[in-house]
Amino acid sequence: MELSYWWILPLAAAAVAISAWQYRRRRPPQTRAIAHGDRLTDLPEYQHALRRYRLRLMVAVMLGAVFLAATATAAARPILRTTERPEVRNRDIVLCLDVSGSMTSTDAAITTVFQELAKEFDGERIGMVIFDSSSVQLFPLTDDYDYAAEQLAEAKEALDSGAGSFFDGTWNGAGSSLIGDGLASCVQSFPDDAGAADAQRSRSVVLATDNFLSGEPIFSLEEAAALAADKKVKVYALNPSDMDYGNQPDEPGAQLRAAAERTEGAYYTVDGAEAVPGIVGKVQQTEATSYRAAPQALAADAPAWPLGIALVAGTGMLVLGWRLEP
């Protein structure tokens, strides 16, 4: 317990001392002598009433002193300082969307889900990267959820229509749907572990692709998955058209599953756009992590006890004032 304005207490004490000194210096009231007054003051009833009056007056003075001390303490603003380390549940999520023609409906459903989730996020950071033959970062990791929601709304509109400047910059490479390069770009969207908070945030990539490669990427899917695992980024792959024939490891779906599981992520097949909310919900539940944030010093006003004492003392003074009769 400490006082923000401790200097109020010595000022209040000085004011009380000056008042008491002025009271002692005041002139005594003029009185007139009464003959045979001792006959009245010696009466037992008078002595009893005088003792009762003095007792009540003494109690009133004590209550007044307590009232002044309590109100002065409250005016000095007592505060309690504590230190705590709150538990924080934070994560970084990058939406990594293959915007080749076969993916637009699934991409639109994913952006719709995250547009709604952005309204409920608290502490999460979200970013978005789209790719075809080259990658474009639509917006970096941010916790400005209004901005993220606006960008996601624009992305959904463009994906629904399948045209517009939204796709500019995604056709600069040779080929189409270069999944390895796209995933590597998404993994590189996370900051380096510059601080303890960044190091303890969970990192995930929601990768929407059918893994139908057309061209020669710089990064293969396996190399991009290794990069993600090295950076402790979990990849959650959403495949809207798993057309694998058999269980051969070189099938597109099998390769995508192996890449996701290598990062300790997961692989989901999407039967339709309506299945996306449930899958994203699983990702959201799985990927939350908790850690202790840096210690925080907290200061809280604690006026309750001095004001409570002042209230009790003031009430007692009022009661005595009504009954303080000689």
- Cα angle at 275 between 269 and 278, to 5 degrees? 100
Among 220, 293, 307, smallest CA distance to 258 is for 220
CA distance 158 to 153: 9
pLDDT digits (tens, 9 = 90+) for 240-291: 776 665 567 778 888 888 999 999 888 888 765 556 777 677 666 665 555 5
pLDDT digits (tens, 9 = 90+) for 163-194: 777 788 888 877 777 889 999 999 999 887 65
Report the relative pairing of strands 266-269 and 234-239 from DSSP bridges.
parallel
pLDDT digits (tens, 9 = 90+) for 90-122: 788 898 988 887 777 888 888 888 888 777 777
* Contact criterion met (CB below 8 Å) for 188 and 96: no
Phi, psi of 153 (to 5 degrees): -65, -40
Among 278, 242, 312, smallest CA distance to 71 is for 312
Question: What would the DSSP string read from start to end of 36-81?
Answer: TTHHHHTSHHHHHHHHHHHHHHHHHHHHHHHHHHHHHHHHT-EEEE
Question: Residue 281 is inside which H or E element, if any?
Answer: helix 276-287
pLDDT digits (tens, 9 = 90+) for 130-161: 988 888 999 999 888 889 888 888 888 888 88
Question: Residue 142 is inside which H or E element, if any?
Answer: strand 135-142
* Contact criterion met (CB below 8 Å) for 186 and 265: no
Reply yes or no on whether the pLDDT at 296 is more than 80: no
Question: Residue 185 is inside which H or E element, if any?
Answer: helix 179-187
Q: At what angle do helices 104-117 and 145-161 cross, to 10 degrees?
A: 160
| pLDDT (0 to 100) of residue 224 | 93
Share of the chain above pLDDT 70, in %: 83
pTM for this predicted structure: 0.60
In whole angstroms, how large is the CA radius of gyration of the chain? 38
94 DSSP assignment? E
